[in-house]
Amino acid sequence: MLDQHRDYVLRTVEERGVRLVRLWFTDVLGTLKSFAITPAELENALNDGMTFDGSSIDGYSRTEESDVLAIPDPNTFEVLPWVDPKTAEARVFCDIHNLDGTTFGGDPRQVLRRNLDAARADGFEFLIAPDIEYFYFEHPKKGEAPVPLDEGGFFDLTTTDVASSLRKETIRTLEVLGIPVEYSFHEDAPSQQEIDLRHTDALTMADSVMTFRMIVKEIAAMHNVHATFMPKPLEGVQGSGMHLHLSLFKDDANAFYSPDDPHMLSPIAKSFMAGLLHHAAEITAVTNQYVNSYKRLVPGFEAPVHVSWARNNRSGLIRVPIPKRGNPNATRIEYRSPDPACNPYLAFSVMLAAGMKGIREGYELPAEADANLFQMSDTELAKLGVTQLPQSLSDALKLMEKSELVAEALGEHIFDWFLRNKRREWMEYKTQVTPYEINRYLRSL
């Protein structure tokens, strides 16, 4: 099968006159990296991989040896639709290996593979469908506040909506690349968009999220517009989240579904949810990895603040949507804290690890919190046993540092590098004197 696979890629390159093949991979922070090879080198690359110096990639640096090997995954080979067919280009995602062929600990894609394999050993296949929010702004000038393209609101339909034609073009391109879109609409905030992707297995979805972010930005840039996945770019309006719809399948049946439960949730779904809730605080540094991420996780903007679950309450961390027509395959849970600036490979890894721990150790699901938690006092919340997500990157890092679960899920290489890198980010932020402080204090103190 693998030989046929390679053969297919090589023939396609030949037949379509592909001039450049872009090898894609991801650094630890989730930035897409790429280098290009010519078709002549492709066969060699598919068989033996391409060596490159990893020391300039965030999170790849090691003391002993900086060269690593990128081995293309022929499954992910796609001709890029926005390039002139006369000089066609293709992309392929790579797995990063050490020169001796062992998997490289700094490669997020391999981290996710390892976590998926662990779940698979228990018979589970992890499926994800993300709802990705982002903003369009006029091309930003350094130091100036972002300018939205419009003042539209949720589901608004305006004929002069530049953003909506951008969104349409984006969706067309996604579909041509085999990334099916379920819904798309104008979100609450000015110039905010949401595109919901149809579920796939977690590895394909992490690749798709990487491709998605690239395409959204690329197409916006072609029209001199700036697209951003920054979690909270505007004060006073809601930020951008990436709600993740999760399910596990076992023996081709949805393991989250049970016809006997009043909420249609199986014991497996409940202990998976319990695992996610129990470990939510310690994985938040990974699902919300920037200083700015925590400006989104505040009350009043449809983002979760409390560690709780409910069926139809969007203030909780986990929502259990009611599936259409009671379709067993559509039973799923929605994890609402992650933002679209996370590294999807790592975020999916820690979420899966948390849920699987709940299953393996039979965690009890706490009671549903169906009231609006934002209207409750701290004493009332404490009585319900509802805790909070970390309030800042610093808090999140402290919790992550103590987490066996995260260390194991990410592996030592990424765990250490991530903490070091993020602590530096926090230190940098902490030493800033912000406009808020100047306005608030300069004259009054």
Q: Can you tell me which residue has the tokens 């999807």?
A: 344
Stretch that binds other proteins, among 179-187, 301-309, 339-347, 379-387 (CB under 8 A): 179-187
Of 175, 261, 361, 380, the one binding other proteins (CB under 8 A) is 175
180 binds other proteins (CB under 8 A): yes
Of 77, 137, 309, 345, the one binding other proteins (CB under 8 A) is 77
Site string for other proteins, 81-110 (x = CB under 8 A): x---x-------------------------
| Least distance CB 178 / other proteins (angstroms) | 4
Cα-based distances in Å from 188 to 135, 320, 337: 11, 22, 17
Of 79, 128, 359, 419, the one binding other proteins (CB under 8 A) is 79
162 binds other proteins (CB under 8 A): no
Instruction: Please report, to the nearest 10 degrees, the dihedral formed by the alpha carbons of residues 221, 224, 229, 233 taken in order.
Output: 160
Gyration radius (Cα) of the chain, Å = 22
Buried b (16+ CB within 10 A) or exposed e, 201-219: ebbbbbbbbbbbbebbbeb
200 binds other proteins (CB under 8 A): yes
Site string for other proteins, 108-137 (x = CB under 8 A): ------------x----x-x----------
Stretch that binds other proteins, among 169-177, 274-282, 316-324, 343-351 (CB under 8 A): 169-177
Quick one: 171 or 407, whose CB is closer to other proteins? 171
For residue 105, the 8-state DSSP code is T
| Rounded Cα distance, 358 and 280, in Å | 12
178 binds other proteins (CB under 8 A): yes
| Rounded Cα distance, 344 and 112, in Å | 9
| Least distance CB 119 / other proteins (angstroms) | 11
Instruction: Look at the alpha carbons of 52, 112, 10, 80 in this order and tell me if their dihedral is positive or negative.
Output: negative
| Least distance CB 335 / other proteins (angstroms) | 19
Of 22, 32, 249, 371, the one binding other proteins (CB under 8 A) is 249
Q: Which residues does residue 130 pair with via DSSP β-bridges, in sequence order?
A: 244
Of 168, 198, 314, 424, the one binding other proteins (CB under 8 A) is 198
The number of residues that bind other proteins (CB under 8 A) is: 37
445 binds other proteins (CB under 8 A): no
Of 64, 100, 144, 251, the one binding other proteins (CB under 8 A) is 251
Q: Measuring CA to CA, which residue among 318, 293, 299 is closest to residue 369?
A: 318
Quick one: 81 or 153, whose CB is closer to other proteins? 81
| Least distance CB 255 / other proteins (angstroms) | 11
Q: Measuring CA to CA, which residue among 42, 43, 24, 41 is closest to residue 33?
A: 24
* Sites for other proteins among residues 414-443 (CB under 8 A): none
Stretch that binds other proteins, among 247-255, 283-291, 351-359, 383-391 (CB under 8 A): 247-255
Quick one: 81 or 146, whose CB is closer to other proteins? 81
- Enter the tokens of residue 374: 């934002």
The three-point CA angle 300-318-410 to 5° equals 110
214 binds other proteins (CB under 8 A): no
Amino acid residing at 281: A
Q: How many CB atoms lie within 10 A of CB 438?
A: 10
Quick one: 1 or 40, whose CB is closer to other proteins? 1
176 binds other proteins (CB under 8 A): yes
DSSP codes of every residue in 385-412: T-EE--SSHHHHHHHHHT-HHHHHHHHH
* Cβ contact 230:135 at 8 Å: yes
Site string for other proteins, 225-244 (x = CB under 8 A): --------------------
Cα-based distances in Å from 42 to 18, 26, 74, 126: 11, 20, 11, 31
Stretch that binds other proteins, among 3-11, 218-226, 288-296, 298-306 (CB under 8 A): 3-11
* Cβ contact 386:315 at 8 Å: no
Q: Can you tell me which residue has the tokens 């799923």?
A: 332
Amino acid residing at 273: M
Interacting residues with other proteins (CB under 8 A)? 1, 4-5, 7-9, 11-12, 15-16, 74-79, 81, 85, 120, 125, 127, 174-176, 178-181, 198-201, 204, 249, 251-252, 329
